[in-house]
Amino acid sequence: MVDRYTKLYNMDDMDFPTPDVDVESVTPDELKSQIDSGDEVTILDTRMESDYDEWRIDGANVESINVPYFEFLEDEIDDDVLERVPNDRDITALCAKGGASEYVAGALKERDYDVDHLEDGMNGWARIYEAVEVERYDGPGTLLQYQRPSSGCLGYFVYDDGDAAVIDPLRAFTDHYLEDAEKLGVDLQYAIDTHVHADHISGVRTLAAAGVEGVIPEASVDRGVTYADETTLVEDGDEFQVGDATIETIATPGHTSGMTSYLIGDSLLASGDGLFVESVARPDLEEGDDGAPEAATQLYESLQERVLTLPDDTLIGGAHYSDAAEPAADGTYTAPIGQLEAEMDALTMDEGEFAELILSDMPPRPANYEEIIPTNLGQQEATDDEAFELELGPNNCAASQESLAGD
């Protein structure tokens, strides 16, 4: 008993016994398809409560139940534990990497529950990355939005006349962008970052190593970027051509001092972490709490003077979305500026009200941001596996959605 419980907080290091019954697994892609199709999905999350509270699979049609795996370790599972698990429907058990959930699923199946388990657990869920066409984009060429549901990360891939560019690429999916370019028969010319990210490892340098021109805001140099001489530095007003599509650089500081947006084909503003379809940026990740008030003022000015002055039908596409966000009819997390201004109170406040609001209710900072930022600056290195582990979890780069999205 003692040896068993000394390992409770090292679940990934445990060797769980093979269940005595056959346990079916569901792949992350299959689970995502079930959720997207509107099927009612019941998830039994067997991770520790703290991990569950921080990061889990949610959805309007998802019922998520947290019963930590250690409660299933006894041969005689307590009745009150079993009563917390519905026995009148199909259940998918999950954990961090798949071992604990397979064991729990087996224990439940022995007791006549209809249960499978998520292959590779939340780590497998974090490897889902999908491209969805932005159908309302009416500029030259075609625009795709990359979506990572595990963290809400978004990126953009525009291509036209044999050329392409990707904005806010993730290191974990470097091969994905190159393979997509090959399938589409285009040359991936540019890999562009909106800012120094705090929630995931940028793919600009890995794509640059593969022959793509890396692009970062010149203001990033002031933060200590070590690879500036290996990339193209951009300032406000600079432009790039992708076929007939123009990508215009628009400085929008606030979330960070170097926060930069990119207007694609005069149709969609890739706004990075400045403005999302359900919230605005948090201003405290560069200078901490002391510098947050000044950054909030910068953010207000950027939104009022650089973003909201664009035509109302200009689409906004942020670098993230949250569980509170509703996708548009085309499945993308985009919305016209006019719609956001009408729906989001924060965009119509005066400067003082705006700053007070976003500073009053900020969520916890992104997990591992103190490691991710110097990695993205090139000040420290991380292997591919280490980089992937660092960015697991929620992004938390926005101010509180509850306080910003309307009355």
Instruction: Please report the pLDDT score of residue 400 as a whole number.
Output: 60
CATH superfamily entry for domain 2-125: Rhodanese-like domain (3.40.250.10)
Instruction: Please report the pLDDT score of residue 380 as a whole number.
Output: 95
Q: How far apart are CA 374 and CA 390, in angstroms?
A: 12
Q: What is the pLDDT along the chain (407 residues), one digit of tens a residue?
A: 223 333 333 455 466 666 778 899 999 999 999 999 999 999 999 999 999 998 999 888 999 999 999 999 888 899 999 999 999 999 999 999 999 999 999 999 999 999 999 999 999 999 999 999 999 999 999 999 999 999 999 999 999 999 999 999 999 999 999 999 999 999 999 999 999 999 999 999 999 999 999 999 999 888 999 999 999 999 999 999 999 999 999 999 999 999 999 999 999 999 999 999 999 989 988 888 899 999 999 999 999 999 999 999 999 999 999 877 889 999 999 999 999 999 999 999 999 999 999 998 778 887 788 999 999 999 999 999 999 999 988 777 777 655 454 33
Q: How far is CA 81 from CA 4, 333, 364, 384, in A?
A: 18, 39, 31, 38
Instruction: Please report the pLDDT score of residue 60 as a whole number.
Output: 86
Q: Which CATH number is 130-404 given?
A: 3.60.15.10
Q: How far apart are CA 131 and CA 33, in angstroms?
A: 14
120 token code pair: 């590779």
Q: Read off the DSSP letter of residue 303.
A: I
pTM of the model: 0.91
Instruction: Please report the pLDDT score of residue 325 as a whole number.
Output: 85
Q: How far apart are CA 162 and CA 392, in angstroms?
A: 34
Coil, strand or helix: which one is 34?
A: helix
How many residues are there in the chain? 407
Answer for the pair 144, 133: CB distance below 8 angstroms, yes or no: yes
Q: Where are the domains of the chain?
A: 2-125, 130-404
CA atoms within 13 A on the CB side of 10: 8
> Which residues have C-beta within 8 Å of that of residue 150, sequence separation ≥ 6?
122, 125, 126, 128, 392
112: left (phi over 0), alpha (psi -120 to 50) or beta: left
Q: How far is CA 391 from CA 64, 76, 231, in A?
A: 22, 38, 23
Instruction: Please report the pLDDT score of residue 21 as a whole number.
Output: 85
Q: Read off the DSSP letter of residue 116.
A: E
Instruction: Please report the pLDDT score of residue 9 as a whole number.
Output: 36
